[in-house]
Structure 1
Amino acid sequence: MTTGPDPSSTDLKPWTVSRSRDVIRDRWVTLRADDCVTAEGVEIAPYYVLEYPDWVHVIAIDDEDHLVLIEQYRHAFGGLSLEVPAGAIDREDPSVLAAAARELEEETGYVAERWRSLGKHSPNPATHTNSCHTVLALGARPVGRKLNDPTEQIKVVRVPVGDAARLAADGTLTNAMQIASLAIALGAIGKWHL
């Protein structure tokens, strides 16, 4: 039975970087160009790397066993996207759970009673430097203050937890990374069913 990559494997070596430069650096993203040489001596130049802050996905469930989701326009997608509350972890956030609570309240006006961090994963280990954290928020209720951000027009949508896997499979939920977070969180509480 295979349990995953062997971290002690000696035949896989990291690349070396002979030069690195920023192509774009702004408040949202940094695009870095690295000139790399593989362990076998093959030059790969430039190799583009995207630097983002860590992200958090909030899987919020209310006392009626509904997911608290958001719908908003996504420009690159070219339309409306149904998603979980999510966002960047700010430098000012004292923890992942604090960032999750902030994002949930800002985007939905909901707060939650119980919080559980369920790990972090790479959005794309080939090109991204950041991690995406999955957080489960139980006992969500709409008593907080939703942030009125003119760049994010957000509609709050509640759907039964039992519909999550179907909405992911049929493409109604559009963000693949968030679908992974949904599966992790709902699987942890025995509620992810295809």
Structure 2
Amino acid sequence: MADDDLAWETLDTEIDYRCPGFEVRRDDVALPDGTETDYHHVEEVETVVVLPFLPGGDEVVLIEEWRQAVGRVNRGLPAGGVEPGEDHLEAAARRELREETGYTADSLEHLCTTEPVNGIADSLHHTFVARGCEPAGGQALDENESIRALTMAYGELVAAVREGEIRDGRAALAVSRYELG
């Protein structure tokens, strides 16, 4: 939609900062009224999110993970970046489920794709519903992950999202979209 009268024109662009997991890009832009300014945003790899149901569909697998940015343990869903060479999002979702929880799924189905924070990042999240999840061994965490896997009744998860107990945006979005059918 570059021809939209709301579109900004990018005059120049470069990476200001790199670290494991993301980069910060600075764009020099011209606004629709001709004003020139700069705009910073986070760039990161595509992400998969998994809403994993145990056999029977009444329970789900969740994770509890330390989140340094908010200084607390966060309860949410297994999720992570698509790795180089992964040509299918479903393969990335299966890998993240296995690595973060130790569970594998009989089947996966794409639920939705969202841009969760498109005002400050180019993040693209692909959410999958996993069914028939069973333990398949221990976790295989990345070196910078502190994660504990647990199970919960799906109804309790819905209530925790509704009551604001679960504040993780990916989990709240996945449950909400799943509930909307």
Query: Is TM-score (shorter-chain normalized) higher than 0.5?
Result: yes
Distance of 2:75 and 2:141 partners within structure 1 = 19
Taking only the aligned residue pairs, the percentage that are identical comes to 27
Task: Report if aligned partners of 1:16, 1:37 keep a CA contact under 8 Å in 2.
Answer: yes
Distance of 1:27 and 1:154 partners within structure 2 = 18
Match in the other structure for 2:61: 68
Match in the other structure for 1:120: 113
Amino acid at match of 1:90: E
* Uncovered stretches (5+) of structure 2, i.e. residues with no partner: none
Task: Report if aligned partners of 2:111, 2:128 keep a CA contact under 8 Å in 1.
Answer: yes
Task: Report if aligned partners of 2:17, 2:24 keep a CA contact under 8 Å in 1.
Answer: yes
Shift of 1:14: 1.2
Distance of 1:178 and 1:51 partners within structure 2 = 21
Distance of 2:147 and 2:62 partners within structure 1 = 10
Task: Report if aligned partners of 2:76, 2:170 keep a CA contact under 8 Å in 1.
Answer: no
Asked if 1:33 corresponds to 2:26, the answer is yes
Task: Report if aligned partners of 2:78, 2:96 keep a CA contact under 8 Å in 1.
Answer: yes
Of residues 5, 19, 25 in structure 2, which corresponds to 1:12? 5
* Uncovered stretches (5+) of structure 1, i.e. residues with no partner: 1-6, 189-194
Task: Report if aligned partners of 1:135, 1:185 keep a CA contact under 8 Å in 2.
Answer: no
Of residues 168, 172, 176 in structure 2, which corresponds to 1:183? 176
After the TM superposition, which parts of structure 1 deviate over 6 Å for at least 4 consecutive aligned residues?
Answer: none
Distance of 1:186 and 1:144 partners within structure 2 = 30
Distance of 1:173 and 1:51 partners within structure 2 = 26
Task: Report if aligned partners of 1:111, 1:144 keep a CA contact under 8 Å in 2.
Answer: no
Asked if 1:138 corresponds to 2:131, the answer is yes
Asked if 1:104 corresponds to 2:97, the answer is yes
Q: Give the secondary structure class of the aligned counterpart of 2:104.
A: coil
Shift of 1:144: 4.1
Match in the other structure for 1:46: 38
Distance of 1:130 and 1:155 partners within structure 2 = 25
The alignment covers a number of residue pairs equal to 179
Given the superposition, is the C-alpha separation of residues 154 and 120 from structure 1 closer, same or farther in structure 2, using an over 3 Å criterion? same
RMSD, matched Cα: 1.8
Shift of 1:11: 6.0
Of residues 63, 67, 72 in structure 2, which corresponds to 1:79? 72
TM-score normalised according to structure 1 size: 0.85
Distance of 2:133 and 2:180 partners within structure 1 = 18
